[in-house]
Amino acid sequence: MIKKISPFTKNAIIVALIAIISIILVKESSIIFNVMTRFISVLSPLFIGISIAYILNQPISALIKKFKIKYKHSVISVLLILLLVVILSSAYILPIVIKDIVSLANAMPSSVVKVKLFLSNSSFNIKPLADLLKTYSAEIAKFMSNVSTAMISNLSKVLISSGKIVVNIVMGFIFAVYMLLDKKNILKNWKKINMILFGKEVSDKISDLSEKANTLFSRYIVGLIAEAFLVGTIGFIGLYTIGVPYAIVLGIIMFFTNMIPYIGIFIGLIPIVLVTLMYNSANTIPVIIFILILQTIDGYFLNPKIMGNFIGLKPVTIFVVILIGAEFFGILGMLLSIPVSAFIKIILKELLDEYNHEHYNIK
């Protein structure tokens, strides 16, 4: 007589199969990457729409909860605010950013001389750095020249292809509007499909895990963007006040790098210090002190207030999963490695709880 397979064993087999498939996908990553790149390129407006809808879902829910307004009114209000922000940014901020990037790229090769002079004449014990820069000054100048040329070239390509980008974003925005307004029907059909494919018991588990994943990812992504926006804004104001040129570009860099926990702020510090050395080396120490103070404020006030402790991962674990995510999936892996790891932890906890309940009757 064949022994009946327990639910825990079934779930363990499913997890093992998923792990094996994941390993195969990683090994054949180059082929899959090419196929996925083509696929994403064709369906990019849809993916943009899904991303916009997913990110906006939490502020829409918060608006409903706070002001007790109807769902459709909340959706329209949030979309109008987003549209206003995009229009104002395109009209006033984007031209300044493009102008500053071009100016910074053109100034890079000649600025290495200023940096070398600062390091040579500095009262701090950094003579080895000055000697190293002197030895490789020609190579550094050539490298910075190549970087500046590449920046201008890539910027030109971006501007040339901006028409397609704008069309994709507009189409994505339209998709997002439809998905947000038809959210109830989409979720209802999703549950029906699960019920048909997997049955009621498995469908209920999928719905429960989907709800937990949605709560985890939405809180993390929205919180991350909000925290990074505050850090970037405070960084821009502080750098502008100190007198650092291209403060708005550096603030935007801080916004993006701060999305990488723990190490992001230090990655963003590199271009800030270089720009400061290039244009006003006397401000280097005040800038470093300001960034360290900002990092302290972010770590002890902004992050706990906005993000809380809902991820449930230790700092060492977070650092390791960020490195793993960066190795396999680049920047996107660094950004999503934390919520993915937290969700895997939730699944493993569910499996262990089920196993303990079945074998030891522990609830």
pLDDT (0 to 100) of residue 238:
93
More confident residue, 158 or 240: 240
pTM, whole model, 2 decimals? Answer: 0.70
pLDDT interval class at 141 (50, 70, 90): low
CA separation for the pair 7, 91 (Å, rounded): 58
Count the Cβ atoms, other than its own, within 10 Å of residue 112. Answer: 23
Residue 223, pLDDT > 80, answer yes
55 in any annotated domain: yes
Q: Of the ranges 120-129, 179-188, 321-330, which is most confident?
A: 179-188
Convert the pLDDT of each residue in 15-48 to its tens digit: 677 777 777 666 665 666 677 677 767 778 888 8
Q: What is the dihedral of CA 285, 290, 296, 299, to 10 degrees?
A: -120
197 in any annotated domain: no
pLDDT (0 to 100) of residue 4:
58
CA separation for the pair 126, 116 (Å, rounded): 11
More confident residue, 320 or 40: 320
Give the angle subtended at the CA of 291 by the CAs of 288 and 297, to the nearest 5°. 145
pLDDT (0 to 100) of residue 236:
93
Which two structure tokens, joined as six digits, stand for 89?
Answer: 């940014």
CA separation for the pair 345, 230 (Å, rounded): 29
pLDDT (0 to 100) of residue 143:
57
User: Residue 56: is it exposed, middle or buried by C-beta count within 10 angstroms (0-12/13-18/19+)?
Assistant: buried
Residues with Cβ within 8 Å of 197's Cβ and at least 6 positions away in sequence, in order, are: 203
Say if CB 306 and CB 226 are below 8 A apart: yes
pLDDT (0 to 100) of residue 157:
59
Q: Region 128-147: what's the mean pLDDT?
A: 55
User: Residue 294: is it exposed, middle or buried by C-beta count within 10 angstroms (0-12/13-18/19+)?
Assistant: buried
User: Which residues constitute the domain of residue 46?
Assistant: 42-181
Convert the pLDDT of each residue in 256-305 to its tens digit: 888 877 777 778 888 888 888 777 778 888 998 998 898 888 877 777 67
Q: Region 48-77: what's the mean pLDDT?
A: 86
222 in any annotated domain: no
Residue 161, pLDDT > 70, answer no
Say if CB 251 and CB 232 are below 8 A apart: yes
Place of tokens 């404020």: 297
How many domains does the chain divide into? 1
9 in any annotated domain: no
Residue 315, pLDDT > 80, answer no
Q: Region 93-105: what's the mean pLDDT?
A: 79
Question: Among the listed ranges 115-119, 226-230, 233-237, 253-257, which one has the minimum average pLDDT value?
Answer: 115-119
Question: Among the listed ranges 83-87, 136-140, 211-215, 329-333, which one has the minimum average pLDDT value?
Answer: 136-140
pLDDT interval class at 1 (50, 70, 90): very low
Write the CA distances from 350 to 51, 99, 205, 209, 363, integer angstroms.
28, 53, 10, 9, 11
84 in any annotated domain: yes
pLDDT (0 to 100) of residue 334:
78
Sign of the alpha-carbon dihedral angle for 278, 284, 287, 292: positive
Say if CB 276 and CB 307 are below 8 A apart: no
165 in any annotated domain: yes
212 in any annotated domain: no
pLDDT interval class at 359 (50, 70, 90): low
